[in-house]
Chains A and B, each alone.
Chain A
Amino acid sequence: MFFRKRPKQLNKINYETKESSILELLEKAKQSSDFETFSPVEKNAFLSISYYKTLVDMDLFNRIFLKNLKEKLASIKNLADLKSIVPIDSILITQDVKEVEKGLYHGAAVIHLHNNLQECALVGLSDPRLGKREVNETENEFSVIGPKIGFIEDLSTNLHLLRSQLITSDLIFEEFEVGTRSKTKVVVAHLSGVTNPDYVQTARQRIQDLDIDVLYDNSQLEELISDYSTTPFPLFINTERVDRTIYSLIRGNVVILTDNSCYALIGPAALMNFFSTPEDFYLPWVVASFFRIIRIFGMLFSIFVTSFYVAILTYHFEIVPKDLLGPIIFSRANVPFPPVVEVLFLEITIELLREAGARLPTKIGQTLGIVGGIVIGQATVQAALTSNILLILVALGALSSFTTPIYKMSNTVRLLRYPFILLAAIWGGFGIYIGVIFLVTHLLRLKSLGSPYLLPLSPYRKGGLSNTFIRKNDFHKEKRNKFLRALSRKRFNPITNKDPEEGLNSE
């Protein structure tokens, strides 16, 4: 803030080596052991085929491509003849080196005639499903009721999953290439006529302006295109569930999918969206609303429970009634530490257990949970390192942090506890309130794809309370929420009950 920002110089240097001719390209590719060049005929070889063994579907290559080529080899005079010989639709004849390079890496075989080295044909033989998993059950966002289909690490499958559920030509996929070395495909999906074009334009612009070498995963893209990168809060919803993605598209969100990533990014996201799950829509709305309120309560409880414990036991023990003070004093009588050390000790223990459980294979992780939870907890209390009551509070706090459906948000909730504990240790309840106001201001500053993060609560929009804290009856959801600024607000016409008033069952 005190230093003037230097204008950034955008340099358009390419970080890769460039080949100038097709022959050079092929020569360089030959350094790799998985690259192969051969000629289908022994004598008078007039053409050769080059390809990466690791990228090409060998079945297709041997049984269809090579078989047909060898049968009618004699009739080939120039490259254009290939189109009538090989029964594969994606054949491209080009002189462009870049085109050839891209084709090679996308699993095409390059054919060139020896008398014309400038031109070559690209035959698409790629196997996009090579090395990809088949199982697409949602693992991290589990729901008891409802479909369990999730995205997998293959873009075309993911797009298929979306396309097969939304049978409309309004569903638009825009494809971009990100990464100078990885050339990862990124797709921005939206419903035309519904999604506000501003959001689409913002997403498009940010993806196009990216300069990065390799894109590993969608969550990396999330950080790169988010409005503020120095925040613990996720500014996009990161989901692997297809139904959630479809629902967001219908509401008027933008969805970003990346090749090699089984997560979809949904934006613009608001803080309270992170506390709803697709299952809310499969349960009766009364029950679902109750669960949603429980989740929001769980988030607040998890953030504040231990910091209030520290604040009360360090500074404000007067506010505890006499009858309650007795048990607390008894359980803490033998503990030699101040409350903050005690709390940090237990909180970090829980955090270690969680981290170890996440890194270990499932079966060992479960055993570890039992060992950690029961044995360590019981032993620390008996060894008088912590009090019984604190153990209950910390365990409850950890438990309630896991009720947040989106994994990234539940991480944030867990992280937020520590600043509050420290503030409570230094300034008691006043410190906690200072922290709360910092948090509120921070949330007010955040934006996701240019739309405020606390919407629809602040700035308050009509229906903000009912949309946030309860799941509305489906018949009352015929209009889209105003705060996403969708182009059309009408979703459907709710039908009224047409059952005859006096049927057989009524008396």
Chain B
Amino acid sequence: MQSAVKENSMVSPYFLFFLIHGSQVGISVLNFQSRISKGAGQDAWVSVLAVGLSLNLIFFMMLHIMKHASNGDIISFHTDTFGKWIGGLLNLAMTFTFLVAGLLVSHSFIELLQVWVFDGIPSWEFALLICLLSYYIVSGGFRILAGISFWGVVIPSFLMLSSLYLFHYREVSYLMPIFNHGITEYFISAKASATMFFGFETALVYFPFIKNGSRATKWGHFGLLCTTLVYVVITLVTFMFFTQGKLKILTWPTLTMIKIIAFPFLERFEFIFIFTWLFVILPVICIYLWSAVRTVKLTFPKLKPTYVLFFFICCYFFYSSILEDIYYTKLLINMIRYNGFIFLFGYIPLLFIISLMKVLIKNRKQQSNS
């Protein structure tokens, strides 16, 4: 059960930046604007910023939890604190959360492809391709995963240049008046925007794979800040591009915005954008899958990880290819919204308090002993 991470499967500290940033940015960047504008309207970018910055606090709590676990991850923390059975159950629940989150990403990407690019290709073909790719990546181990999330951040980063192009069409007055919303409205926007920050909770599982964990934390914070910055920029660009009324009826505001970009040799830039987005979503799916497999592997040491991965991949394939109806996507979204919200803003602070208490008790014992 105690499997310490070997030196040769570890990655350099700066990979934490790419892992965290790569696992956060997923499909919801393409459609979050209309959801968040329901609350604070043109001021919703403040909520995005606030949620993003609050995550640094959550990350700090996560680091504290992992520091006081025997193996340096949440799996061992669970079993340390709650014993073998309850801890194991909690681990399984966490696996399920990760799996559903990963599934949602692949499911909605397939939906996106069918809406925007190919209406004639059945979804099982896309599901098969994505499943094969994720199997190939995840079975390669953590170093491959880190490499893919590196390229998954570096290659699509040129897409950010399109916001410069869109900046020409800005209408600053759309952002006016500033700060004329109540606290509850900001809170509604914040709640809606929290979904797109999910993903970095997987760091609880893979953190022992980072070399010099304590020095790597700054990279983690940078990753979170970078995500926040990107989201705020996208929100601002969108709000300056569309009026609030128009934004309410759009399903994919980012893509609608991208459609305006054209070059002399390329008329529909959004095709390139959507395909390149595969580079963005694959690290998310693979990190979730890998974390799920790792959790199962450490909880049930007798199961062979390859079989577990294969089983998960099969589940993904069947869910995405058979349950095509929009109802099932909604189901996933709702699950993620509640699960992720409770996990990040309820469960992790709870664990943080528990680990703080553990440290206090330990210190008191040591004092009474000496």
Whether A associates with B in a native complex is: yes
Interface of A toward B, CB cutoff 8 Å? 1-2, 315-316, 318-322, 324, 427-434, 437-438, 440-441, 444-445, 454, 458-460
User: Would you call the interface of chain A mostly helix, strand, loop, or mixed?
Assistant: helix
When the two chains form their complex, are residues A460 and B117 in contact, meaning their CB atoms are under 8 A apart? no
Q: How far is the CB of B226 from chain A (nearest CB, A)?
A: 16
When the two chains form their complex, are residues B275 and A433 in contact, meaning their CB atoms are under 8 A apart? yes
When the two chains form their complex, are residues B279 and A427 in contact, meaning their CB atoms are under 8 A apart? no
Q: A319-B266, A324-B265 are in contact. Are A444 and B282 (CB under 8 A)?
A: no
Q: A444-B147, A459-B11, A460-B150 are in contact. Are A433 and B267 (CB under 8 A)?
A: no
Q: How far is the CB of B123 from chain A (nearest CB, A)?
A: 12
Q: How far is the CB of B321 from chain A (nearest CB, A)?
A: 15
State the CA gap A438–B144 with chains docked (Å).
12
Q: How far is the CB of B32 from chain A (nearest CB, A)?
A: 23
Q: Which residues of A contact B218 (CB under 8 A)?
A: none
When the two chains form their complex, are residues B267 and A459 in contact, meaning their CB atoms are under 8 A apart? no
Q: How far is the CB of B40 from chain A (nearest CB, A)?
A: 36
16 contacts between A and B (CB under 8 A): A318-B267, A319-B271, A320-B267, A321-B264, A428-B117, A430-B129, A438-B136, A441-B133, A441-B148, A444-B140, A444-B144, A445-B144, A454-B147, A459-B11, A459-B12, A459-B146
Is the CB of B121 closer than 8 A to any CB of chain A?
Answer: yes
Q: A316-B271, A321-B265, A430-B113 are in contact. Are A440 and B15 (CB under 8 A)?
A: no
Q: Which residues of A contact B312 (CB under 8 A)?
A: none
State the CA gap A315–B117 with chains docked (Å).
9
Q: Which of A437, A438, A444 has the most CB of B within 10 A?
A: A437
State the CA gap A460–B11 with chains docked (Å).
11
Is the CB of B139 closer than 8 A to any CB of chain A?
Answer: yes
State the CA gap A320–B268 with chains docked (Å).
8
Nearest to A434 among chain B residues (CB) is B129
Nearest to B143 among chain A residues (CB) is A444
Q: Which residues of B contact A454 (CB under 8 A)?
A: 147
When the two chains form their complex, are residues B136 and A427 in contact, meaning their CB atoms are under 8 A apart? no
Q: A444-B148, A458-B150 are in contact. Are A321 and B118 (CB under 8 A)?
A: no
Q: Which residues of A contact B262 (CB under 8 A)?
A: 321
Q: How far is the CB of A173 from chain B (nearest CB, A)?
A: 30
State the CA gap A446–B279 with chains docked (Å).
20
When the two chains form their complex, are residues A433 and B266 in contact, meaning their CB atoms are under 8 A apart? no
Q: How far is the CB of A202 from chain B (nearest CB, A)?
A: 13
State the CA gap A437–B131 with chains docked (Å).
13
Q: Which residues of A contact B133 (CB under 8 A)?
A: 434, 437-438, 441
Nearest to B121 among chain A residues (CB) is A427
Is the CB of B319 closer than 8 A to any CB of chain A?
Answer: no
When the two chains form their complex, are residues A430 and B136 in contact, meaning their CB atoms are under 8 A apart? no
State the CA gap A433–B156 with chains docked (Å).
12
When the two chains form their complex, are residues B306 and A441 in contact, meaning their CB atoms are under 8 A apart? no
When the two chains form their complex, are residues A427 and B14 in contact, meaning their CB atoms are under 8 A apart? no
B138-169: which residues lie under 8 A (CB-CB) from chain A? 139-140, 143-144, 146-148, 150-151
Q: Which residues of B contact A459 (CB under 8 A)?
A: 11-12, 15, 146-147, 150
When the two chains form their complex, are residues B275 and A429 in contact, meaning their CB atoms are under 8 A apart? yes
Q: Which residues of B contact A315 (CB under 8 A)?
A: 117-118
State the CA gap A427–B126 with chains docked (Å).
9
Q: How far is the CB of A70 from chain B (nearest CB, A)?
A: 66
**What would 19 more interface pairs be, CB under 8 Å, given A1-B306, A2-B306?**
A318-B271, A319-B269, A319-B271, A319-B272, A427-B118, A429-B117, A430-B117, A430-B118, A430-B129, A430-B278, A437-B148, A437-B282, A438-B136, A440-B148, A444-B143, A445-B144, A459-B12, A459-B147, A459-B150
Is the CB of B195 closer than 8 A to any CB of chain A?
Answer: no
Is the CB of B125 closer than 8 A to any CB of chain A?
Answer: yes
Q: How far is the CB of B31 from chain A (nearest CB, A)?
A: 19
Q: Which residues of A contact B12 (CB under 8 A)?
A: 459
Q: Which residues of A contact B143 (CB under 8 A)?
A: 444
Q: How far is the CB of B305 from chain A (nearest CB, A)?
A: 11
When the two chains form their complex, are residues B278 and A432 in contact, meaning their CB atoms are under 8 A apart? no
State the CA gap A257–B326 with chains docked (Å).
63
Q: Which residues of B contact A444 (CB under 8 A)?
A: 140, 143-144, 147-148
When the two chains form their complex, are residues B151 and A434 in contact, meaning their CB atoms are under 8 A apart? no
Q: How far is the CB of A68 from chain B (nearest CB, A)?
A: 61
Q: How far is the CB of B259 from chain A (nearest CB, A)?
A: 11
Is the CB of B276 closer than 8 A to any CB of chain A?
Answer: yes
B247-273: which residues lie under 8 A (CB-CB) from chain A? 262-269, 271-272
Q: Which residues of A contact B205 (CB under 8 A)?
A: none
A-B CB proximity, top 9 nearest: A444-B147, A319-B268, A433-B275, A321-B267, A429-B275, A433-B278, A444-B144, A434-B129, A458-B147
When the two chains form their complex, are residues A427 and B125 in contact, meaning their CB atoms are under 8 A apart? yes
Is the CB of B137 closer than 8 A to any CB of chain A?
Answer: yes
State the CA gap A459–B269 with chains docked (Å).
31
When the two chains form their complex, are residues B140 and A445 in contact, meaning their CB atoms are under 8 A apart? yes
Q: A1-B139, A458-B151 are in contact. Are A430 and B144 (CB under 8 A)?
A: no
State the CA gap A318–B272 with chains docked (Å).
12
When the two chains form their complex, are residues A440 and B151 in contact, meaning their CB atoms are under 8 A apart? yes
State the CA gap A376–B254 with chains docked (Å).
48
State the CA gap A93–B356 with chains docked (Å).
81
Q: How far is the CB of B51 from chain A (nearest CB, A)?
A: 30
State the CA gap A459–B14 with chains docked (Å).
10
Q: Which residues of A contact B139 (CB under 8 A)?
A: 1
State the CA gap A322–B278 with chains docked (Å).
28
When the two chains form their complex, are residues B144 and A441 in contact, meaning their CB atoms are under 8 A apart? yes
State the CA gap A428–B271 with chains docked (Å).
11
Q: Which of A432, A438, A441 has the most CB of B within 10 A?
A: A441
State the CA gap A332–B278 with chains docked (Å).
31
Nearest to B307 among chain A residues (CB) is A2
Q: How far is the CB of B68 from chain A (nearest CB, A)?
A: 30
Nearest to B268 among chain A residues (CB) is A319
Q: Which residues of A contact B146 (CB under 8 A)?
A: 459
State the CA gap A459–B11 with chains docked (Å).
8
State the CA gap A245–B12 with chains docked (Å).
31
State the CA gap A445–B145 with chains docked (Å).
10
Q: How far is the CB of B119 from chain A (nearest CB, A)?
A: 11
Q: A427-B125, A458-B147 are in contact. Are A441 and B275 (CB under 8 A)?
A: no
When the two chains form their complex, are residues A433 and B276 in contact, meaning their CB atoms are under 8 A apart? yes
Q: How far is the CB of B105 from chain A (nearest CB, A)?
A: 15
State the CA gap A427–B139 with chains docked (Å).
25
When the two chains form their complex, are residues B140 and A437 in contact, meaning their CB atoms are under 8 A apart? no
Q: Which residues of B contact A430 (CB under 8 A)?
A: 113, 117-118, 126, 129, 275, 278
When the two chains form their complex, are residues A434 and B278 in contact, meaning their CB atoms are under 8 A apart? yes
State the CA gap A431–B118 with chains docked (Å).
12
When the two chains form their complex, are residues B265 and A429 in contact, meaning their CB atoms are under 8 A apart? no
Q: Which of A431, A438, A440 has the most CB of B within 10 A?
A: A440
When the two chains form their complex, are residues B266 and A321 in contact, meaning their CB atoms are under 8 A apart? yes
Q: A440-B151, A441-B144 are in contact. Are A428 and B118 (CB under 8 A)?
A: yes
State the CA gap A433–B282 with chains docked (Å).
11
